[in-house]
Structure 1
């Protein structure tokens, strides 16, 4: 693929973008969940079910607040920044005008997603009366991108940022899709996620195309350098440290016995996904790297060998 092959999606955006086509969604006052049980293992743990199942809804609401807060950080502080830099031609990688225009539609979408997320947070507070606990100031991506960039020379800073954001946008699509399909969750929340997914699918393709355009022009030395950076980025991006720390703080706000609190801490500290090819998001990440041409590059395949299936084949 070269710049002449890039297919703009501006027309598709005009007809399909949620900011153009969706009404405001209102949180229902029904008995459905505000957050899927399967996405907060704490409430499914043996200790929680034994000692404090009555705290389930409180934990789910607080976890929903964190999810919403993370979305706002992701959309406004990370994706918005990268897309806006491309749109305003401030990125060191030269992209054609059609890409820059599409990048601005991504900016609009992401800021709208953040607005809708804040609306849902306020609706949840008004309906439940449960105020959010202090929420983390960063997400995993906030830390992972600067760490990855620090491993690369100055002229590759923008390229590393582009690839990291593309990886994140492709993984969040998978994450939101799973959320949107859970019938146990309130219809408005599922609708919120479905709306988000409608835009994120387009964004995922956009970022994939941009990475593919860049990769075709990257020198062999730059490719080798980026290959060395990718495993470092994945280790910091896929960690569950921030979620674990949040869950541990959440436990401190439960009115339970010291024994139950200690048991819950043990459960939370035991929850971790090893960052191997079996991690639930790795297949999506490898798919993005394959579609954008990175994984067919020997140095990248070698650098990420630990994340590939046993055959090690990038095909």
Structure 2
């Protein structure tokens, strides 16, 4: 794709964007789950199942609150910032007007997603009477982007931000899709996720196309510099440290004895997953890198091979 080939999706956005077409969704007071069991392994652990079953709904509700909080951080503090910078022509390199228009539509969509998420948080508090615990102020991307940008030359920091956001937008689309298909979850929440997915598919294509445009025009030396920092980005992005911290905080609020609490903590510590080619997000990231053109660059392929090797993960 060249800049002259780039087309705005203005008409598609006007017809299909959820901010234009969806009514407000209301949380049902039924026996369906508010959060998928498979997304909170703590409630599936042997100790929890045997000794803490009465706390399941509390843990799932708090996990839902964290998920909403993560959505708001991701969309209003990170994606919104990058897309707004592109739309206002404050990004290096600058993009043509059609790209900038699409970027502003992404800003509108993401702020609307955050509004819907906060609406569901408010509805859940009202229905359950369970108030959120202290929620994280960062997500993995909050750490991954500045860590990678710090290793890049100053003139490439916007480009590293663009690629990092594009990676995250492409991976979150797959996460949202899985959530929206889980029949154990309340219909309104699955509907919210399906609405989100409807927009995120368009966003994933938008970011992939922008990265493709940038990569085609980038100098070979700049491509190699970005390849060098990609492992740092992935190291901070593909981690469960924040989730583990949150789960340990949850355990402290369960009304169980010290022995059970320590057993739960041990099981949470054991939930850490290795970053390999079989990691649930790595396949999605590799597809994005392929479609955007990065993976065809030898330095990128070599950096990722080194990072995903056992020696690279141990470094």
Shared fold (TM-score greater than 0.5)? yes
Give the match's secondary structure for 1:26.
coil
Between the aligned partners of 2:193 and 2:307, the Cα distance in structure 1 is 28
In the TM superposition, 1:203-214 aligns within 5 A as 203-214=203-214
Aligned to 2:6: 6
Cα pair 2:248 2:268 within 8 Å, conserved: yes
Q: 2:160 aligned with 1:165, yes or no?
A: no
Shift of 1:306: 4.6
In the TM superposition, 1:103-252 aligns within 5 A as 103-252=103-252
Cα pair 1:83 1:103 within 8 Å, conserved: yes
Between the aligned partners of 2:308 and 2:150, the Cα distance in structure 1 is 25
Aligned to 1:313: none
Between the aligned partners of 1:7 and 1:284, the Cα distance in structure 2 is 25
Per-residue CA shift, 1:194-235, capped at 9, x if unaligned? 000000000000000000000001111101000010011001
Per-residue CA shift, 1:68-120, capped at 9, x if unaligned? 00000000000000000000000011211000000000000000000000000
Between the aligned partners of 2:183 and 2:138, the Cα distance in structure 1 is 30
Aligned to 2:89: 89
The alpha-carbon distance between structure 1 residues 184 and 306, as it changes in their structure 2 partners (threshold 3 A), is farther
Aligned to 2:313: none
Aligned to 1:297: 297
Aligned to 1:79: 79
Cα pair 2:275 2:308 within 8 Å, conserved: no
Give the match's secondary structure for 1:167.
helix
Between the aligned partners of 2:195 and 2:307, the Cα distance in structure 1 is 31
Cα pair 2:35 2:60 within 8 Å, conserved: yes
Between the aligned partners of 2:292 and 2:13, the Cα distance in structure 1 is 22
Q: Structure 2 stretches of 5 or more lacking a match?
A: 311-315
Shift of 1:307: 6.4
Aligned to 1:272: 272
Shift of 1:7: 2.1
Give the match's secondary structure for 2:277.
coil
Give the match's secondary structure for 1:98.
helix
Shift of 1:142: 0.5
Cα pair 2:171 2:284 within 8 Å, conserved: yes
Aligned to 2:100: 100
CA RMSD of aligned residues (A): 1.1
Shift of 1:309: 9.9
Give the match's secondary structure for 1:295.
helix
Per-residue CA shift, 1:162-182, capped at 9, x if unaligned? 000000000000000000000
Give the match's secondary structure for 2:161.
helix
